[in-house]
């Protein structure tokens, strides 16, 4: 979905209602931030003083995972992939189990603020800095891509008609996030994420109700439409070369969660705000399980939208990310449009605010060596700098031509998180010492070799590599660390 395409969407008469909804939501966010951000110190900003109830974190993390990209990409993707995304979602839950019982105990035992400081304790400073840099690059791109969706839709619905340029919209949205997170940090975000998750789930259910009502469908009618749809296929077992093959999706989904949650400072920083390891584990399993029915609802919405378009004789946009915005803004009426605006705003802000906070935390602790005592003024300037870089990345992504941002993000994750997967796997599964100064070179070389392997497989035996690129990448990193490890050094116990 490009800015040109969305700006060509029909401007609805309820554009003022969309703007009022957006403004009301932002004002409520500021009120909540004021109530929860009274402490302006690093202990609150980084880890919310490790005093957050587990159920609060679980609700907030659910909204953080369902980004604005998911909101538009998953329903639209049913056109090309049916409901096969559920294979990946089932793999996600397997990954949550691994994170719960393997990584969380490690992080709590070491009392980490940044999870990448484990790499320093296990390998050395080069590995530590390399891991942090790969996270910063990946998170900056991924979170900016997710925020891009809401800025684009707001631009086409509200700001283009009144003459405000797109760059001003981007800067304004990022500035709003900076304002309500710059004091309380994670202590504020934990609670604003709860609000955003509740808004997201409520609007999704309201949109399902409105679309089914316009189609004259009861609950049983919705089930019949989904069951009889040509897009309802979930499992693919008959083509092992396809990127949609079940075992590829399941295993890839598990490892995507391991790296995007378990090895991601953003997600783990929220878990580390829980009062104890046991509460953090309860949070992770609850949140991971809740992810399954929520994504099933998104896919159901997608099938209903396709059915609606077919019933009404509508031609859907070629780019799947444009399907939901197109129907919501031009066909389904003002109630759906308001719900859509509220839902995608909540989803996008939930992901972006925590990403900016975790990026600030990583820069402060991993790159600059700051701790939770003192340096608040310096931290505020770093937070502002991260916000500027974030806005520039959103504008850069706006210049890219992508049919599905969700697939683009997962593909980027396969390359940038692969070395992190290899580092942590080697550290946890072996006690071998490594040559720490070589790790930056290995981390850069691994994605290049993985891409070359994927290209060779497709052009020799016709095997198309999907998200399992992450496994190739991590495996090459692991093997490289083993080949180059320090054979004269002593075993390392961390």
Asked if residue 396 belongs to a domain, the reply is yes
Residues 441, 427: Cα–Cα separation, whole Å: 18
Mean pLDDT of the chain: 82
Around Cβ 408, how many Cβ atoms within 10 Å?
19
Return the CATH number at 127: 1.20.1730.10
- Could you tell me which residues come within 8 angstroms of residue 172 by beta carbon, excluding any fewer than 6 positions away? none
- Does the structure show a pLDDT above 50 at 10? no
Is the residue at 379 inside a domain?
Answer: yes
What does the pLDDT average to over 63-72?
70
Q: What's the confidence (pLDDT) of residue 372?
A: 61
Q: What are phi and psi of 181, to 5 degrees?
A: -110, -10
Dihedral angle computed from the Cα positions of residues 206, 210, 211 and 216, in that order, rounded to the nearest 10 degrees: 130
In a domain, 64, yes or no: yes
As given in the structure block, the two tokens for residue 137 are: 């690059």
Question: What is the predicted pLDDT for the residue at 222?
Answer: 92
Residue 3 pLDDT exceeds 50? no
Confidence of residue 56 (pLDDT cuts 50, 70, 90): confident
* Range 38-53 average pLDDT: 62
**Overall average pLDDT of the 380-393 stretch:** 90
SS3 call for 234? coil
Using the structure block, give the residue that is written with the tokens 């405000």. Answer: 164
Bigger pLDDT: 466 or 287?
287
Under 8 Å between Cβ of 78 and 218? no
Cα–Cα distance for residue pair 120/163, rounded to 1 Å: 51
Q: How many CB atoms lie within 10 A of CB 230?
A: 9
Between 412 and 490, the more confident residue is 490
Indicate the range of 21-30, 259-268, 368-377 predicted with least confidence.
368-377
The confidence band for 12, taking pLDDT boundaries of 50, 70 and 90, is: very low
Question: Which residue shows structure tokens 């969305």?
Answer: 6
Residue 184 tokens, joined: 């309380």
Structural domains in the chain (count)? 1
Tell me which H or E stretch contains 211.
helix 186-214
- The token duo for 143 is 């979170």
* Res 476: pLDDT: 93
Place of tokens 């990209």: 69
Q: Report if residue 346 sits inside a domain.
A: yes
Compute how many other C-beta atoms are within 10 angstroms of the C-beta atom of residue 248: 23
- Under a CB-based contact definition with an 8 Å cutoff, are residues 105 and 116 in contact? no
- From CA 65, how far away is CA 54, in angstroms rounded? 16
The Cα-based distances of 36 to 44, 46, 93, 206, 276 in angstroms read 10, 14, 31, 29, 21
Residue 323: inside a domain:
yes
Q: Is residue 427 part of a domain?
A: no
pLDDT at 481 over 80: yes
Query: What tens digit of pLDDT does each residue of 209-218 get?
Result: 888 988 899 9
Whole-number pLDDT of residue 4: 44
Question: Is residue 479 domain-resident?
Answer: no
Q: Which of 452, 467, 359, 455 is nearest to 418 (CA)?
A: 467
95-126 pLDDT, tens digit each: 999 999 999 999 999 888 789 999 999 999 99
pLDDT of residue 433: 93
Exposure string over 166-203, b if 16+ CB within 10 A, otherwise e = beebbbebbebbbebbbbbbbbbbbbbbbbbbebbbeb
pLDDT (average), residues 362-388: 82
> Which has more confidence, 434 or 153?
434
Q: Give the tens place of pLDDT for each residue, 248-291.
A: 899 988 988 998 889 988 788 888 888 889 999 998 999 889 88
- Residue with the two structure tokens 């116990």: 493
Full residue range of the structural domain in which residue 132 is found: 3-404
Does residue 416 sit within a domain?
no
């Amino acid at each position: 979905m490009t800015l040109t395409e969305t700006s060509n969407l029909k401007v609805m008469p309820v554009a003022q209602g969309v703007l009022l909804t957006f403004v009301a939501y932002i004002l409520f966010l500021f009120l909540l931030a004021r109530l929860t951000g009274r402490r302006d110190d690093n202990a609150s900003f980084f880890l919310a003083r490790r005093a957050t109830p587990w159920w609060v974190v679980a609700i907030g993390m659910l909204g953080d995972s369902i980004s604005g990209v998911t909101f538009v990409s998953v329903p639209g993707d049913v056109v090309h992939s049916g409901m096969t995304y559920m294979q990946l979602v089932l793999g996600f839950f397997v990954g949550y189990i691994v994170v719960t019982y393997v990584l969380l105990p490690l992080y709590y035992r070491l009392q980490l603020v940044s999870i990448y400081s484990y790499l320093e304790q296990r390998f050395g400073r080069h590995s530590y800095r390399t891991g942090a840099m790969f996270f910063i690059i990946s998170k900056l791109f991924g979170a900016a891509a997710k925020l891009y969706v809401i800025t684009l839709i707001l631009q086409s619905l509200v700001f283009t008609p009144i003459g405000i340029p797109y760059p001003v919209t981007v800067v304004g949205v990022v500035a709003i996030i900076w304002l309500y997170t710059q004091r309380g940090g994670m202590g504020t975000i934990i609670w604003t994420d709860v609000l955003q998750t509740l808004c997201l789930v409520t609007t999704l259910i309201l949109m399902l109700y409105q679309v089914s009502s316009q189609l004259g469908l009861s609950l049983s009618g919705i089930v019949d439409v989904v069951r009889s749809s040509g897009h309802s296929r979930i499992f693919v077992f008959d083509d092992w070369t396809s990127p949609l093959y079940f075992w590829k999706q399941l295993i890839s989904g598990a490892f995507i969660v391991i790296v995007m949650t378990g090895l991601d400072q953003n997600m783990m920083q929220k878990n580390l705000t829980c009062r104890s390891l046991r509460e953090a584990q309860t949070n992770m399993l609850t949140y991971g399980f809740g992810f399954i029915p929520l994504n099933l609802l998104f896919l159901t919405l997608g099938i209903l939208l396709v059915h609606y378009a077919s019933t009404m004789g509508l031609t859907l946009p070629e780019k799947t990310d444009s399907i939901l915005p197109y129907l919501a803004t031009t066909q389904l009426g003002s109630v759906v449009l308001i719900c859509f605006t509220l839902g995608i705003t909540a989803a996008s802000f939930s992901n972006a605010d925590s990403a900016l906070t975790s990026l600030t935390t990583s820069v402060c602790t991993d790159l600059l060596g700051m701790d939770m005592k003192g340096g608040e003024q310096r931290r505020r300037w770093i937070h502002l700098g991260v916000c500027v870089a974030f806005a520039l990345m959103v504008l850069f992504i706006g210049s890219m031509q992508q049919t599905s941002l969700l697939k683009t993000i997962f593909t980027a994750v396969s390359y940038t998180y692969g070395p992190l997967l290899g580092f942590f796997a080697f550290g946890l599964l072996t006690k071998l010492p490594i040559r720490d100064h070589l790790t930056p070179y290995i981390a850069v070389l691994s994605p290049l070799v993985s891409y070359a392997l994927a290209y060779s497989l497709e052009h020799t035996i016709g095997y198309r590599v999907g998200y399992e690129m992450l496994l190739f990448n991590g495996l090459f990193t692991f093997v490289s660390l083993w080949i180059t490890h320090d054979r004269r050094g002593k075993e390392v116990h961390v």
